[in-house]
Amino acid sequence: MSSKEQFKKTINHQQPDRVVVDFGATPVTGIHVKTIAKLRRHFGLEERPVKVLEPYQMLGEVDEELIDAIGIDVIGAWGRENMFGFFNHAPFKEWETPWGQRVEVPVNFNTKVDNHGDILMFPKGDTSIAPCAKMPKASYFFDALNRQEPIVEEELNVEDNLEEFSLISDDDLEHWRVEVDKRHQTGKAVVAGFGGTALGDIALVPGLNLKTPKGIRDVTEWYMSTIMRPNYIKDIFAHQVEIAKENMRRIFEVVGNKVDAVFVCGTDFGTQDSTFCAPEQFNEMWLPYYREINDWVHQNTEWKTFKHSCGAVESFMDGFIQAGFDIINPVQISAAGMDPAKLKRKYGDNLIFWGGGVDTQQVLPFGKPEEVREQVLKTCDIFMKNGGFVFNSVHNVQAGVPVENFIAMLDAIKEFNGK
């Protein structure tokens, strides 16, 4: 069967013939540009600057050559603009990273170096205004900078936190029509992130794409506001959902069911050993709005909905199901309570586990190839039963991963599929 057919069986909780694989289809299942370069060398592919597909995390493009070499079944349809608010497609230019790698970046990827040697990034590539993000000189990706304006309680306006959420433009609709059709023609499964549905995603709260973000933009202040200003946050979510539903309606008119899964939200609810809030607060603050989005999708399309949340979120799984999510990612198997066998037994009939194939904090970057192999074989054996499992590592593959460990992971997938 084709990649698309295997994927369809998987997401409908039917036993596929083999494990379905994703690397590079989303901003949370990608590969760092440094590792992309190492993989290209390993597979004997032409050495050339790797294209930066997602500059905030410095994720590289997994092109057709690597898709074939790795054995990938799922590809992503990406929007016109990136997290920093500038066009993320050709024309490109070359840029040298702090670790000495030549990469291709969008033409408005404009940076400055501060007095400490850190690299500053600017919203919409406009270097005449304050920077929105910083890549420390010893780092491999950007961190958001706090640009919170002084908060005057009586002047807080929900519209300020909705500046980046608006009705989709004709140019964006045309982009999605072309982008999705191109991905659909490959015969792979297609996942898209149309944007506008992320409720309180901390990566987006700072407004990295805005020149002068207003409202609540400090991450700490945002978390505090879910307790101190719950009605303000709910108003934001309610307005956002109405805009999102109209945008999804317009997008569906041009892409139809050529999309197989849609990335809804990347809001994290888990830490390494606990959660950011109680399940009861999730049920009150987030669940009704998630359900409204998911209900629209399921009533009007054949798309499956994708929810990302890192950490120890086993206690939230029932809430994710009640909210109507089909897919949970990254399945952080190293976090407290996230035992693969327990997750599959309790929630495997209702949730697709997308990720969880190998731990990216310890095993993949620091383990021996045999340890990688053992974990991959174990997780595949658990999650693969009766479908409902798309293989990916626990979150993005980072810069320091040894290429022999990445290959050990791929070899273990092939070994498992050969049973």
- How would residue 1 be classed by pLDDT, with cut points 50, 70 and 90? confident
What is the per-residue pLDDT for 419? Answer: 63
Find where tokens 């109405």 sit: 242
Q: What is the distance between the alpha carbons of residues 263 and 261, in angstroms, rounded to a whole number?
A: 7
**316 SS3 class:** helix
Closest CA to 53 of 21, 28, 20: 28
Q: Which pLDDT tens digit goes with each residue over 344-362?
A: 999 999 999 999 999 999 9
For range 221-231, the mean pLDDT: 96
For range 264-281, the mean pLDDT: 96
Q: How many CB atoms lie within 10 A of CB 141?
A: 18
The predicted model scores a pTM of: 0.97
Output the average pLDDT for the chain: 97
Give helix then strand counts, H and E, for the chain: 13, 16
For range 152-181, the mean pLDDT: 97
79, exposed or middle or buried, with CB in 10 Å at 0-12, 13-18, 19+? middle
What is the per-residue pLDDT for 124? Answer: 97
Which residues, in sequence order, are CB contacts of 279 under 8 Å at separation 6+? 315, 316, 318, 319
Beta strands 389-391; 20-21: pairing state: parallel
pLDDT > 90 fraction of the chain, expressed in percent and rounded:
99
Positive or negative CA dihedral for 223, 227, 230, 234? positive
Q: Is pLDDT above 80 for 396?
A: yes
CA 64: distance to chain centroid? 20
CA 86: distance to chain centroid? 18
Q: What is the distance between the alpha carbons of residues 315 and 322, in angstroms, rounded to a whole number?
A: 13
Q: Which pLDDT tens digit goes with each residue over 39-82?
A: 999 999 999 999 999 999 999 999 999 999 999 999 999 999 99
Which residues, in sequence order, are CB contacts of 166 under 8 Å at separation 6+? 243
389 forms bridges with which residues in the sheet?
353
Q: Is pLDDT above 70 for 106?
A: yes
Q: The tokens of 54 are what?
A: 């997602």
Positive or negative CA dihedral for 226, 231, 236, 239? positive
For range 161-169, the mean pLDDT: 97
Q: Is pLDDT above 70 for 23?
A: yes
Q: Is pLDDT above 90 for 99?
A: yes
Q: How many CB atoms lie within 10 A of CB 212?
A: 11
Using an 8 Å Cβ cutoff, are 246 and 191 in contact? no
Find where tokens 């070994």 sit: 415
- How would residue 3 be classed by pLDDT, with cut points 50, 70 and 90? very high
Domains and CATH numbers, the chain: 3-91+146-417 (3.20.20.210)
